[in-house]
Amino acid sequence: MTRPTAPPAPRHTGRRHVVLIGHGMVGQRFLETLVALPGAAGLRITVLAEEPRPAYDRVHLTSWFSGTSADELKLCPPGFVAEHGIDLRLGDPATAIDRAARTVTTASGAAFGYDTLVLATGSYPFVPPVPGTDAAGCHVYRTLDDVAAIRADASGARVGAVVGGGLLGLEAAGALRAMGLETHVVEFAPRLMALQVDEGGGDLLRRKVEDLGVRVHTGVGTRAVLADDAGRVRAMALSDGGELAADLVVFSAGVRPRDQLARECGLPVGQRGGIVVDGECRTRDPRVHAIGECALTSDGRVHGLVAPGYAMAETAARAVAGGEPAPFTGADTSTELKLLGVDVASFGDAHGATEGARDVLYSDGRSGVYRKLVIGGDGALLGGVLVGDTGSYGVLRPLAAAGRPLDTAPGQLVLPAGLAPASGPVELPDDAVVCSCHNVTTGRIRAAVADDGCTSVPEVKKCTKAGTGCGSCVKVLGTVVDGELASRGVSVDDRLCEHFAHTRAELYDIVRVKGVATFSRLVEEHGTGEGCDVCKPVVASILASLAGGHILDGEQAALQDTNDHFLANLQRNGSYSVVPRVPGGEITPEGLITIGEIARDFGLYTKITGGQRIDMFGAAVDQLPAIWRRLVDAGFESGHAYGKALRTVKSCVGQAWCRYGVQDSAALAIELELRYRGLRSPHKLKSAVSGCARECAEAQGKDFGVIATSSGWNLYVGGNGGMAPRHADLLAQDLDHDTLVRIIDRFLMFYIRTADRLERTSTWLERIEGGLGHVRAVVVDDSLGICADLEELMARHVGAYEDEWAATLADPDRLRRFTSFVNAPGTPDPAVTFVTERGQIRPARAGEHGTPLPRPVLIGGDRVEVRTA
């Protein structure tokens, strides 16, 4: 194809023009840094992007297979381009650079003049130069379009092979396995992740990967890809003479710098590729910079990780804006990740290449833990490898980066959590980089507390950006913040309220261990005063979660807030909503008719919710029992919309109906909702079950969510779709049914036992020391030996469950509280008024003339009358 001739470059006599070629992760970081610098005010910025979409998170590309959308992977904030006047040209890649004329030509034939040019062209996947790699069914693993093509092909495939056993290769293998393919990994090196882990770590990693059902072939290369008569891959010929049957192949054997534009315009490149740059990320042409994976830095390396790319982006941005120089001198190449469910971390001189270095090892093949630290001759920590237990990575990495002799014995540091002898926290020097994503040091974090007035981790995150990247440093960040606060005599008051000098978790244990059954006994023995609107509902929830009887019985009733007091949600005009449980969103036509008839007869507003059930609004307090009676008689029960308890377990139709479904998600959702119904907790609980990786039930936005795989179920926890959205974390994968339920039991009871008042699972998971790793150790591996207790507590709840509506209807004493006027039962409250809108009622607003409605009410037993105000 003939390249279009570039039109004459436009002449610009005003603002200096910066052209950025490439809009990936590094390119976006360059833009964000540049526009924040004072010198950027006079710049005009154009971005030429090859892909049809703005920058997105390639590091978490694999999460797309488990339901993360392209929108969720976006890195370019909404409005960012417009706010800063950036001319972003999507889907029109640069094809030529004329350095003499200072122009860039794109595939469409457009030409752009530049004063400064920044190359952020990244890299391309390396495909071995062997016959057959163009066969149908062969893929690379680099972009969103790549993963979409892989998933489309996987639907008709049976066996998948990944060429390459590095980071991306193992992620690709995990994706193929999750889609139900028999999966193989072919790696030419003698071990997996050869660049990151040593022989011992590689051996353990291989065992753990193979235990998960992935076949690993190391020390062997690909000789050819063999195709059938239709031109589709059928097998791989290996260098050892063997043949591996496969109908889908993913090449993930490394990347190469995309330096073609630089080569063609005469810029120097390295012998093995990469655009040669200096410490300011300038090429030989001072008007041209190169950053990220396309650049060969002054240390002779092409950096393939995002952290060095970000550092180069910041260096180049300062140089372009004319700010204070910040030369690129290398960057942290440490990695911590989970591959096929296996925790792996590598940092510093992981292979002990430094002269005089010695290793300190801990290896436990039975529990699947390998930890190696490399110690220098002066006693400094140089690097390390962690497989199976990466809990201390956040501390070890900055210690290694600091390059100082250790104050702590290496033998203590190499032991996994729980085995090291008791000691105080490891002290990090001020220049230790805690957050490598944003290059935030311990000293900067301490300054945020000392000088900027921050008193919490969220405040420090906002002030410094620490912990807002990959998130691996959050645990250490909390330790540094707490230590700085303590050193300044600032203590965080974690008492529940003025009446109890205990946290909610401590009160839970007191109630459980001592068998306390009433608030009065608890406050008498462990508190002061008579309680308040903070501690009373908390204790009521604890008593209820420990199967303490009906919440409206005796002293319990006086502890409840308004919603629990009437087993319904109070609305803005004093009316209540009634929400029957519809497990899994599955409802019969007869059930739909019953709800419709009740709403019609009682004049209620109805709405189908996002949680797959039907809410009915506008009931008066004395109507509630009559509505419940008809619902209970029709087989419905309380949906606990009024309580801090399980709300819904949302589901898709799953394997029973959907052609993509691989498990019966609806049946599992119904089972889980019925199992955990009425479970009182520190905050409301939401759940979902998706029948395949398409994730139609949005399980990864729930407190606990389940996604079907061909081998079982993946369990995600800590999601939140509310005002502070959080993507759920994978707790365990490919679980059989019984194991799944058992781990959910443990997770929920551990959360209920240890969370603070009104703390969602998302906040709890980020706050609890050790985070997800600790929770996994407790509820999956039983590291604390409490899983039997957690399971017994859940069994007690399941066995003691009763529907609170039905139990209230059966008790005349409980029914007496449901009246608007004690001296005139059944008389509607004239202050509760409504207007009609869109064919239904809604509460009257201030200034509107609303009217009370005729209301059928339960006068006694089953007798219903209609009364008007």
pLDDT digits (tens, 9 = 90+) for 4-63: 333 344 444 468 999 999 999 999 999 999 999 988 888 999 999 999 999 998 888 887
Q: In 3D, which of 211, 214, 439 has the Cα closest to residue 311?
A: 439
| Predicted confidence band of residue 93 (pLDDT cuts 50, 70, 90) | very high
Architecture of the domain defined by 127-253: 3-Layer(bba) Sandwich (3.50)
Cα separation, 202 vs 204, in Å, equals: 5
**Are β-strands 138-140 and 729-735 bridged in parallel, bridged antiparallel, or unpaired?**
unpaired
Cβ-contact 387, 398 below 8 angstroms: no
Report domain extents, the chain. Answer: 16-124+257-321, 127-253, 504-560, 569-800, 821-867
Residue 770: per-residue pLDDT: 75
Cα separation, 775 vs 408, in Å, equals: 27
Mean pLDDT of 670-699: 92
Residue 317 CB neighbour total at 10 angstroms: 27
Per residue in 444-484, pLDDT (tens digit) is: 988 988 888 888 777 888 888 887 766 667 777 877 887 78
Three-state DSSP at 151 gives helix
Helix (H) / strand (E) containing 96: strand 94-98
* Residues in CB range of 688: below 8 A, 6 or more apart: 649, 650, 651, 669, 697, 698, 699, 701, 702, 705, 706
Cβ-contact 598, 624 below 8 angstroms: no
Cβ-contact 173, 183 below 8 angstroms: yes
Cα separation, 678 vs 550, in Å, equals: 11
Helix (H) / strand (E) containing 459: helix 457-464
Cα separation, 649 vs 640, in Å, equals: 12
Tokens (6 digits) for 131: 């016959």
Cα separation, 398 vs 383, in Å, equals: 10
* Residues in CB range of 824: below 8 A, 6 or more apart: none
Name which of 97-101, 326-330, 486-490 the model is least confident about. Answer: 486-490
**Are β-strands 138-140 and 248-251 bridged in parallel, bridged antiparallel, or unpaired?**
parallel
Cβ-contact 667, 629 below 8 angstroms: no
Mean pLDDT of 565-594: 87
Residue 424: per-residue pLDDT: 46
Written as one letter, the residue type at 722 is: G
Q: In 3D, which of 619, 598, 596 has the Cα closest to residue 608?
A: 596
Q: Do the annotations mark residue 532 as ligand-binding? A: no
Written as one letter, the residue type at 529 is: G
Mean pLDDT of the chain: 85
Q: In 3D, which of 144, 433, 439, 399 has the Cα closest to residue 307?
A: 439
Same fold, 127-253 and 569-800: no
| Predicted confidence band of residue 426 (pLDDT cuts 50, 70, 90) | low
| Predicted confidence band of residue 868 (pLDDT cuts 50, 70, 90) | very low
Maximal CA-CA distance, the chain: 95
Mean pLDDT of 81-103: 95
CATH class of 569-800: alpha beta
Q: What is the dihedral of CA 141, 146, 152, 156, to 10 degrees?
A: -40
Mean pLDDT of 598-607: 91
* Residues in CB range of 71: below 8 A, 6 or more apart: none
Q: In 3D, which of 518, 747, 559, 561 has the Cα closest to residue 510?
A: 518
Cβ-contact 761, 703 below 8 angstroms: yes
The secondary structure of residue 179, as a DSSP letter, is T
Q: Which of 8-17, 243-252, 528-537 has the highest mean pLDDT?
A: 243-252
Residue 4: per-residue pLDDT: 36
| Predicted confidence band of residue 416 (pLDDT cuts 50, 70, 90) | low
Cα separation, 383 vs 352, in Å, equals: 8
- Beta pairing partners, 123: 257
Q: Do the annotations mark residue 454 as ligand-binding? A: no
Residue 856 CB neighbour total at 10 angstroms: 17
Cβ-contact 466, 449 below 8 angstroms: no
The pLDDT of residue 181 is above 70: yes
Burial of residue 542 (CB within 10 Å: 0-12, 13-18, 19+) is: buried
Tokens (6 digits) for 240: 């050892």
| Predicted confidence band of residue 432 (pLDDT cuts 50, 70, 90) | confident
Cα separation, 819 vs 394, in Å, equals: 58
- Beta pairing partners, 860: 863
Three-state DSSP at 824 gives coil
Tokens (6 digits) for 633: 């008689």
Residue 340: per-residue pLDDT: 66
Percentage of residues in the chain with pLDDT exceeding 70? 90
Cβ-contact 721, 698 below 8 angstroms: yes
Q: In 3D, which of 507, 478, 515, 553 has the Cα closest to residue 767?
A: 478
Residue 635: per-residue pLDDT: 94
Angle between helices 457-464 and 442-450 (to 10 degrees): 110
Name which of 1-5, 64-68, 623-627 the model is least confident about. Answer: 1-5
* Residues in CB range of 344: below 8 A, 6 or more apart: 193, 196, 197, 201, 205, 335, 336, 337, 338, 386, 387, 390
Q: Do the annotations mark residue 692 as ligand-binding? A: yes
Mean pLDDT of 625-634: 94
Residue 477: per-residue pLDDT: 81
Q: In 3D, which of 49, 21, 35 has the Cα closest to residue 80?
A: 35
Per residue in 534-568, pLDDT (tens digit) is: 788 888 888 888 866 676 776 666 666 667 777 88
Helix (H) / strand (E) containing 117: strand 116-119
Which residues in 771-788 are b (16+ Cβ under 10 Å) and which e? bbbbbbbbbbeebeebbe
Architecture of the domain defined by 16-124+257-321: 3-Layer(bba) Sandwich (3.50)
Per residue in 352-407, pLDDT (tens digit) is: 888 888 888 888 777 778 888 999 988 888 988 888 877 778 788 888 887 888 87
Cα separation, 401 vs 432, in Å, equals: 6
Cβ-contact 124, 255 below 8 angstroms: yes
The residue whose two tokens read 């002066």 is 378
Cα separation, 698 vs 693, in Å, equals: 10
Tokens (6 digits) for 104: 């860039």
CA distance to 95, 104, 107, per residue, from 2 (Å): 12, 17, 11
Name which of 188-197, 517-526, 654-663, 853-862 the model is least confident about. Answer: 853-862
Q: Which of 12-16, 292-296, 511-515, 540-544 has the highest mean pLDDT?
A: 292-296
Beta strand ranges found along 478-637 (DSSP E): 569-570, 576-578, 605-608, 614-619
Cα separation, 681 vs 684, in Å, equals: 7
Cα separation, 733 vs 697, in Å, equals: 18
Written as one letter, the residue type at 259 is: D
Residue 708: per-residue pLDDT: 94
**Are β-strands 103-106 and 94-98 bridged in parallel, bridged antiparallel, or unpaired?**
antiparallel
Mean pLDDT of 728-747: 94
Burial of residue 418 (CB within 10 Å: 0-12, 13-18, 19+) is: exposed
The secondary structure of residue 51, as a DSSP letter, is S
Reported residue count of the chain is 869
**Residue 295 CA, distance from chain mean position:** 31
